[in-house]
Amino acid sequence: MLEIKNLHASIDEKEILKGLNLSVKAGEVHAIMGPNGAGKSTLASVVAGKEDYEVTEGSIELEGENIDELGADERAHQGVFLSFQYPVEIPGVSVTNFIKTAINETRKARGLEDMPARDMLKKIKEKSELLEIDSKFLSRSLNEGFSGGEKKRNEIFQMAMLEPKVAILDETDSGLDIDALRIVANGVNKLKSEDNAVIVITHYQRLLDYIVPDFVHVLHDGKIVKSGTKELALELEEKGYDWIKAAL
């Protein structure tokens, strides 16, 4: 699904990713952990195609196609989803209207007509029921006055509606309370399928009490230095990151 090979990326001439390899197959959930400043958010941004970063070496393939040359919008249309991609507040634009527009833009990019209104409503109903999102929330203005948990709910709803091939959830930033963690975890557990893959970035072991990843990777100094199963996350919680650094 997603193949990252020898990825080197810089910002303002400073190299952040230093030869990162990651292979994610359909149906898998991967957790990426690591100390602050390791490059986790950079990895998410580079995969999503954010322009501030310069890829100097290596490649990123989505379903066997190289996506290095695609812009962020094109990658989104190809099925790459990044949480916090649309954090802006848009007064007067509801959660529902925003996602309708996003879906129809993606369809347009694929040469399809707008989704018929009835199908759209059906999909909104189905996904909001699955995620236990009430209709009042769906009619609120996008991100306006959203709590941490509501922001997460909105992101997970966007992910459910857009049905990305690869979803990258960067959960490192901003105070995530236990409710917000649960919203993210429930969403991932309900939305994972044999046709998609999820990468959860976190330095909270707690999140992995709710999401059981197939693989856990430790990112340190721009590279993945250790990979394992969920036991690795437990070991990290117990021992911290220093033992990994010491073993390098």
Ligand X SMILES: Nc1ncnc2c1ncn2[C@@H]1O[C@H](COP(=O)(O)OP(=O)(O)O)[C@@H](O)[C@H]1O
Which residues of this chain interact with Mg ion, rule CB under 5 A?
40-41, 172
Contact assessment for residue 232 and residue 206, using Cβ atoms and an 8 Å cutoff = no
Q: Name the β-bridge partners of 219.
A: 224
Nearer Cβ to ligand X, position 27 or 35? 35
154's contact among ligand X, Mg ion, none, with CB below 5 to 8 A by partner kind, is none
What does each C-alpha distance from 117 to 79, 93, 94, 107, 108 come to in angstroms?
Answer: 22, 17, 16, 14, 15
Nearer Cβ to Mg ion, position 116 or 175? 175
Contacts of 166 (CB under 8 A, 6+ apart): 1, 2, 24, 47, 62, 79, 80, 81, 196, 197, 198, 199
- Output DSSP code: residue 33: E
The least distance separating ligand X from the CB of residue 4, rounded to whole angstroms, comes to 15
Helix (H) or strand (E) holding 127: helix 117-130
Of positions 3, 11, 72, 192, contacts ligand X by CB under 6 A: 11
CA angle 87/90/92 to nearest 5° reads 150
Contacts of 177 (CB under 8 A, 6+ apart): 148, 149
Number of residues binding to ligand X, judged by CB under 6 A: 14
Is 16 an interacting residue with respect to ligand X (CB under 6 A)? yes
Tell me the residue number closest to Mg ion, measured at CB: 41
33's contact among Mg ion, ligand X, none, with CB below 5 to 8 A by partner kind, is none
Is 213 an interacting residue with respect to ligand X (CB under 6 A)? no
Neighbours of 58 (CB within 10 A): 17
List the interface residues with ligand X, window 34-53 (CB under 6 A): 34, 36-42, 52
Contact assessment for residue 120 and residue 179, using Cβ atoms and an 8 Å cutoff = no
What does the per-residue mask of binding to ligand X show for 52-71, with x meaning CB under 6 A? x-------------------
List the interface residues with ligand X, window 123-182 (CB under 6 A): 172
The least distance separating ligand X from the CB of residue 219, rounded to whole angstroms, comes to 6
Nearer Cβ to ligand X, position 81 or 98? 81
Nearer Cβ to Mg ion, position 86 or 204? 204
Is 202 an interacting residue with respect to ligand X (CB under 6 A)? no
Phi-psi region of 145 (alpha: psi -120 to 50; beta: other; left: phi over 0): left
Nearer Cβ to ligand X, position 100 or 220? 220
Residue type, 24: V
Listed ranges 32-40, 66-74, 93-101, 153-161: which one lies at the site for ligand X (CB under 6 A):
32-40
Instruction: Write out the two tokens for 203.
Output: 């330095």
Residue type, 68: D
Nearer Cβ to ligand X, position 18 or 182? 18
Nearer Cβ to ligand X, position 40 or 223? 40
Binding site for ligand X (CB under 6 A): 11-12, 14, 16, 34, 36-42, 52, 172
